[in-house]
Amino acid sequence: QCPPEVKIVDVGPRDGLRSQCPPEVKIVDVGPRDGLQNEKTLVETACKVELIKRLAAAGLKCVEATAFVSPKWVPQMGDHAEVMAALKEKDGVLSGVDLPVLAPNLKGFEGAVAAGAQEVAVFAAATESFSKKNTNCSIAESFDRFLPIMEASKEKNVRVRGYVSVALGCPYEGAVAPQAVTGVIKKLLDMGCYEVSIGDTIGCGTAGGVSDLLDCVEAEGIALDHCAIHFHDTYGQALANILVGLQRGVKVVDSSVAGLGGCPYAKGATGNVATEDVVYMLNGLGVSTGVDLDKLVDAGAFISEKIGRSPASRAASAILAK
């Protein structure tokens, strides 16, 4: 039944880059939280809920929904309980979708759990200055706040994700030593976080810097399987930086639909890398994400229109212009 002769086409060089990337990548869309937290005009709760549902309908399996932080610090997240209440029925489009929320302390954790959260994210910084500006405490104090969260999370069966901010540069202290970053990652994992997302909060990192940092992460014995990457795109380097992460074995990428966002405590920093741009790049690499790019572009257009700006995604702009 087989032919007597078969010509073999060596696709080695073409497949080189693809074979270095994981076959599948999980995207965590942080748009409804990181993307919106910096918006000065309050976005209606119903609009946030609609955005989350549209992201889920586009195939995203993890959407960071809101933040149980102090509304005095971040007014835009003040409707956290209402957002979660509207998402409580996890049937239909939300079935199988994780909806983590930020929790900086036990008060935030308790509020999140009461509102139905099954996953929270604690956030620490790699520099003292950013820790103080963002959460009004030292790095060590932030860990003291996480301890009771970790305890309570076991009891309540709630998953905890960790973040380390300013991993590639700090708006207050400049360059950050990779060892300061790996120290925080290690502590978060040792405490029980299932994964730590490495945040380039001000989007100043470069491919070389990411590579150096990941060298250090691995040298410290931290498995890249337990790390996600969370890159803001201020300097337009995020896609290149993500590619470096993927080549090194990272399989979880945070991004924000329409490239929304910025951090209220990192002046001038722009949004996260746009989810549409990440999906477009991953599609080109043959990496599966389960995300429907057209539906995602529609979700981005929806929220961009609601907040009165054009999507900060090159891929979305190109697709919408067709």
Among 227, 258, 300, which Cα is nearest to 26's? 227
Name the site residues for ligand HMG (rule: CB under 6 A): 34, 37, 67-70, 73-74, 102, 104-105, 107-108, 123, 134-136, 163, 165, 199, 201, 230, 232, 263-265
Apex 285 CA angle, 232 and 298, nearest 5? 60
Rounded least distance, CB 138 to ligand HMG, Å: 12
Q: Which residues contact 30 (CB under 8 A, 6 or more apart)?
A: 64, 230, 254, 255, 256, 261, 272
What is the C-alpha to C-alpha distance for residues 192 and 234, in angstroms, rounded to an integer?
A: 31
For residue 122, give the H/E element and its range: strand 119-125
Which of Mg ion, ligand HMG, none is residue 70 near (CB under 5 to 8 Å by kind)?
Answer: ligand HMG
Shortest distance in whole angstroms from residue 283 CB to Mg ion: 24
Closest CB to Mg ion among 253 and 319?
253
**Single-letter residue type at 28:** V
| Least CB distance to Mg ion at residue 111 (A) | 21
Tell me which of ligand HMG, Mg ion, none is bound by residue 138, counting a contact when its beta carbon lies within the kind-specific cut-off of 5 to 8 angstroms. none
Angle at 176 between CA 171 and CA 182, to 5 degrees: 125
- The item of ligand HMG, Mg ion, none sharing an interface with residue 31, based on CB under 5 to 8 Å by kind, is none
Nearer CB in complex with ligand HMG: 121/297: 121
Q: At closest approach, how far in Å is the CB of 104 from ligand HMG?
A: 4
Instruction: Choose the one of Mg ion, ligand HMG, none that binds residue 104, judging by a C-beta under 5 to 8 angstroms depending on kind.
Output: ligand HMG
DSSP line for 173-188:
TBS--HHHHHHHHHHH
Amino acid at 251: K
Nearer to Mg ion, 36 or 297 (CB): 36
Q: In whole angstroms, how large is the CA radius of gyration of the chain?
A: 20
From 26-34, 75-83, 123-131, 304-312, give the range in contact with Mg ion by CB under 5 A: 26-34
Determine how many CB atoms are found less than 10 A away from the CB of residue 16. Answer: 9
Q: Which does 143 bind (CB under 5 to 8 A by kind): ligand HMG, Mg ion, none?
A: none
Nearer to ligand HMG, 167 or 293 (CB): 167
Q: Which is nearer to Mg ion, 34 or 98 (CB)?
A: 34
Considering the complex, state which of residue 34 and residue 119 has its C-beta at the smaller distance from ligand HMG.
Answer: 34
Are the C-beta atoms of 215 and 179 separated by less than 8 Å? no
| Amino acid in the structure at residue 135 | T
Identify which of residues 81 and 216 has a Cβ nearer to ligand HMG in the complex.
81
289 binds, among ligand HMG, Mg ion, none (CB under 5 to 8 A by kind): none
Query: Residue written as tokens 């002769």?
Result: 5
Contact between 29 and Mg ion per CB under 5 A: no
Shortest separation between residue 192's beta carbon and ligand HMG, angstroms? 18
Cα dist from 102 to 34, 68, 133, 146, 181, whole Å:
10, 6, 17, 12, 20
Catalytic: 263? Answer: yes
**How near is the Cβ of 12 to ligand HMG at its closest, in Å?**
38
Residues 34 to 53 in contact with Mg ion, rule: CB under 5 A: 34
Of 295, 291, 286, the C-alpha closest to 319 is: 295
Name which of 284, 291, 190, 276 is nearest 246 in CA terms: 284
In the complex, the smallest distance separating the C-beta of residue 193 from ligand HMG, rounded to whole angstroms, is 13
Chain position whose Cβ is nearest to ligand HMG = 199
Residues designated as active site: 263
Interaction site with Mg ion (CB under 5 A): 34
